[in-house]
Amino acid sequence: MPNLNDILITLPEFYLVAAACVLLLADAFLPAAKRVWIHWLSILVLVVAAYLVVKGQPAGSVTAFNGSFIRDGVAEILKVFALLSTILVFIYARPYLIDRKLFVGEFYTLTIFAVIGVMLLVSAGSLVMVYLGLELLTLSSYALVALNRDSKLSSEAAIKYFVLGALASGMLLYGMSMVYGATGTLDLVQLHQAIPQSTMPHLLVFGLIFMIIGIAFKLGAAPFHMWIPDVYQGAPTAVTAFIGSAPKLAAFGMAFRLLETGMGDYSQHWQLMLAVLAVLSLAIGNLVAIVQTNLKRLLAYSTISHMGYLLLGLVNAGPEGYSAAMFYAVSYALMSTAAFGVIIALSRAGFECEEIDDFKGLNQRSPWMAFLMMLALFSLAGVPPMFGFFAKLLVLQAAIHAGMMWLAIVGAVFAIIGLYYYLHVVKVMYFDKPVEGTEVRLQSDFTLRLALSLNALVLLALGLYWGPLLSWCKQAFVG
Amino acid sequence: MIDPSVFQLVCFYAFAAVTVIAALSVITLRNSVQAVLSLVLAFFSTACIWMLAEAEFLAIALIVVYVGAVMVLFLFVVMMLDIDQEKLREGFVKYLPVGLIVAVVMLVEMLGLIGVRVMHTQTMGVNPATAAGMSNTAWLGMALYTQYLLPFEVAALILTVGVIAAVALTLRQRTGVRHQQASEQVAVKASDRVRIIKMAAERPVDSQPASAQESKS
């Protein structure tokens, strides 16, 4: 029987649901001149949610609602950073949305519902909750991608995302039904216990394969990456910034819950599958990114390669690998919000500033923005002493400790190949002559500039002082 | 006299076969109206299978909600679509054999791996409703609102998001549209609409035809 204690454990989620509904109504009844309040209220709502997550964190792991919901250290870290990156996205999004007449309350409510999906997904304690959390997240994302409904590119991206997403959800469900058929339980912890006694190991492996396809699709790992470039390019940049951050944390959380909490006993089966996905993602992501001329598309392919690195951590299938992968997911979320933040800061209505050529000679026009972009790109490339460097180092180390030296070597080689296209953008910004007629007019929004500067500088700061975050991540997987 | 368990098994295979054939025809039939009707059949035979598993409530809900409401709506939409049949047929025959071969190979491989025998060893588990001594519907309600409360609520959230998304993507607030305002229509008084003016009972005959002729010329 659910009781008050269950609600206390799930308080951050319940609070966010209530707050999202209030925001929805507030948006409907506020006069047009005061609509901008929704923006500040949404940020406040997320800050309070982050406070509730940290404040109410129990020691160790507790479950609520008959094991449907797990609240532990892993969920805490993922939730905190998902909320943090969403706050950043909201700050970056406001001037962008106002400029393009896309400033609607639905952007905020849908994003908050997506964040609720992220939080439920990373706390999922049963197969049903994994599926429902995922659907809540992706359904909101489809709508967000299509938010600019007069743009053909956006609509196309949304349709592609929707169709492929539905297919992937179907695969995931199919896999889950097989696992349920073989073990007779939906609860992930009971599943873990039931697996050794199962009389149908082949059926379990089949289910596992389908679930991994679902996970790979949500991560955007090759060969299930087809939607990523189109969605990243077609979605409004503010939405792309969101899709590149919190949902990646959720995908890691989902992979961890399904593979470790649920199918941990079958790690010898899924390790190699993940290794193959990782190699393909690294190759496709890094090689195809080289020929891109659109920065959003380039960042999309770079996402694919980053998911490859994240999988390197998961391949380890031990606390070291999981903490490395989570560290990587967190670093990726912060790096990608910074990179998309710069694109937003430089764009204005009618000029999206998403071609690499638009960045020519940025240093002469806005040295500070060029510097921030350089920090973000160096971090994405994994140049020491940036945040991304240590994240890459940790996942490579995890792969080596898993006894997969070859995988670590592949990872290192592709990191060097990847360096090329990031440095190419930096070269364009610093050494190319600006093209006439593409004057950069910076967004004058103060909060955006402040948040963006902080975001990019944090990448440097965490690169120099990464100990506390890493020990926090490691702590989550102890015991 | 037929053994009831054998009869049940025969029924199960019959319904399962109908479901699979109907599902196959949903994706292979070229006429979309026929495809929707096959989907109805697939739902119906699935409901029959659930009935066999003593999940009466789910079976009835599937028929009432999906067959009765959703699929009828689908039919309306499909009938209104103007689909060029010829275009759909292009490439269909070309890819059909390849698709069929791939599907059959996958099926054989899966059956080979998982094994048909395994499926017979697993009989239907103990029905939790009969174990708890209540009807299927009552047990389902109990489980839904206690053990599966959180998933149930999250499903409601997903529906909410669906509504918000639909409104956000389709509502266009047009300006200058003339609406009916029922409250004003009801509250109207005769004095607002009808103006009574006093007029002379008889109009004096004047030279109007003449002036009209003048203006015409």
- Chain A environment of B168 (Cβ under 8 Å): 104, 106, 110, 143, 147
CB contact under 8 A, B125 and A24: no
Long-range contacts for A196-199 (Cβ within 8 Å, ≥24 apart)?
A196/A265, A199/B118, A199/B121, A199/B122
pLDDT in tens, chain A (479 residues): 778 888 899 999 999 999 999 999 998 898 888 888 999 999 999 999 999 999 988 888 899 998 899 999 999 999 999 999 999 999 999 999 988 888 888 999 999 999 999 999 999 999 999 999 999 999 999 999 999 888 899 999 999 999 999 999 999 999 999 999 888 889 999 999 988 888 788 888 889 999 999 999 999 998 899 999 999 999 999 999 999 999 999 999 999 999 999 888 888 889 999 999 999 999 999 999 999 999 999 999 999 999 999 999 999 888 999 999 999 999 999 999 999 999 998 888 777 888 888 888 888 888 898 999 999 999 999 998 899 999 999 999 999 999 899 999 999 999 999 999 999 999 999 998 887 766 666 767 888 889 999 999 999 999 888 889 999 988 888 86
Nearest to A69 among B147, B150, B165 (CB): B150
Q: Terminal CA-to-CA distance of chain B, rounded, Å? A: 106
Kindly compute the dihedral angle of the four CA atoms of residues A201, A221, A250, B148, in this order, to the nearest 10 degrees. -30
Q: Write out chain A residues lying below 8 Å of B149, CB-based.
A: 2, 65, 68
Least CB–CB distance from B150: residue in A129, A143, A206: A129
Whether A139 contacts chain B with CB within 8 A: yes
Q: How many domains does chain A have?
A: 1
Angle, vertex CA A334, rays to CA A328 and CA A338, nearest 5 = 140
CB contact under 8 A, A66 and B146: yes
* A126 in reach of chain B (CB within 8 A): yes
User: How many H-runs (helices) and E-runs (strands) does chain A carry?
Assistant: 21, 2
Nearest to A147 among B115, B121, B168 (CB): B168
* CB nearest A140 (choices: B122, B147, B161): B161
> Tokens representing B213?
């002729």
Number of residues in chain A: 479
Q: Model ipTM?
A: 0.90
How crowded is residue B92: how many other Cβ atoms within 10 Å of its Cβ? 11
Please give the structure tokens belonging to residue A292: 């891109």
Contact state of A146 with B169 under an 8 Å Cβ cutoff: yes
d(CA A289, CA A283): 10
The phi and psi torsions of A466 (rounded to 5 degrees) equal -105, 0
Among A139, A155, A178, which would you mutate to test the B interface (most chain B Cβ atoms within 10 Å of its Cβ)? A139
Distance CA A401, CA A333 (A): 25
**Domain of A312?**
4-476
